[in-house]
Amino acid sequence: MDTYHKSVLLQEVLSFLKVEGGKKYIDATLGGGGHTKKILELGGEVLSIDVDQDAIDYVRSKIKDLGRLTLVRGNFKDIGEIARLHGFEKVAGILFDLGVSSHQLDTASRGFSFQKEGPLDMRMDKNLSLKAADLINVLTKGELYELYRRLGEERHARAIASAVVSARQIKPIATTTELAKIVQLGAPKKFSNINQATKVFQALRIAVNDELNSLEVTLPKSLDLLEKEGRLVVISFHSLEDRIVKNAFRFFSNAKKGKIITKKPITPNWEEIKKNKRSRSARMRVFEKL
């Protein structure tokens, strides 16, 4: 399952989830199914959700015995409804491993990567009607500036927004590499490096998939699904996500709903980062329900 996506913090997830045979778990971000597979191997019963049909199809083709596994294509913002529909209304643990999978990033036609030529798409859910190209070509300069600043935390948001608006007056921006070049030309020269495109692509991806809103909505719903001493484990990959998780856990704790298990986020060790560069920005937080 490594070819689809290399799971991050695998052992840490299993131990913080305290996986036990016969108990129920929800993997809210199935991806290549690495975490799900390990929970199954330890005897857990798993409801696994992904908004991307590719993930569901891949795992269905890899896991022959689906006995203790329920696969659902859906958005985790609807976790309450999905869980109730499949008999997972009280569970021992829920995992969120946020962001995109390597499969999504590496498939040029999905349009997530500025290093691969592809259409500016970036939808995790292929049923969504709005693509990244729609945002890039339709938003006003002011709206693009806000997008890059707020969702990309980009210092040169204004210069990049101007470059995008000038470029699209000649012809609509259609591909990932076209956009990456425009961003690099638009950013002040001495800052013009690969990271510039990273932040702009991050901002677009978050907007297209409404990622921050989905995360905010799902955390309280997930807490409701946990049984006593059940655990919520969330792995995030950038500060905007991590802030939402940190604030939600603090709010739950102040409301006496349970306790924060990780005072500081858990991060991958050097061994893991050496083997899997994409793990380097992972931060895991854990909350236990009272």
Q: Binding residues for ligand SAM, per CB under 6 A?
A: 5, 7, 29, 31-35, 49-52, 55, 75-77, 97, 99-101, 124, 214
Least gap, CB of 59 to ligand SAM (angstroms): 9
Nearest distance, CB of residue 97 and ligand SAM, angstroms? 4
Nearest distance in Å: CB 101, ligand SAM = 4
Q: Which two tokens stand for residue 252?
A: 């739950």
Q: Going by DSSP bridges, is the β-strand pair 226-236/283-289 parallel, antiparallel, or unpaired?
A: antiparallel
Place of tokens 């929800």: 26
Closest CB to ligand SAM among residues 184, 279: 279
- Tell me the C-alpha distance between 57 and 59, whole Å: 6
- Structure tokens of 69? 């596994």
Instruction: Find the shortest distance in angstroms from Cβ 209 to ligand SAM.
Output: 6
Which is nearest to 219 in space by CA: 166, 152, 269, 287? 287
Nearer to ligand SAM, 35 or 246 (CB): 35
- Whose Cβ is closer to ligand SAM: residue 76's or residue 145's? 76
Q: What three-state secondary structure class fits 276?
A: coil
Nearest distance from residue 161's CB to ligand SAM, in Å?
A: 26
Contact between residue 186 and residue 192 where contact means Cβ atoms under 8 Å apart:
no
Q: Cβ neighbours of residue 2 under 8 Å, at least 6 residues apart?
A: 32, 34
Among 126, 127, 157, 154, smallest CA distance to 139 is for 157
**Side chain identity, residue 63:** I
Q: Pick between residue 32 and residue 118 the one whose CB is nearest to ligand SAM.
A: 32
Give the residue closest to ligand SAM by C-beta: 31
Q: Which is nearer to ligand SAM, 75 or 202 (CB)?
A: 75
Crossing angle (nearest 10°) for helices 141-152 and 194-209? 100
| Residue 32 or 152 with smaller CB distance to ligand SAM | 32
CB of 215 to ligand SAM, least distance (A): 8
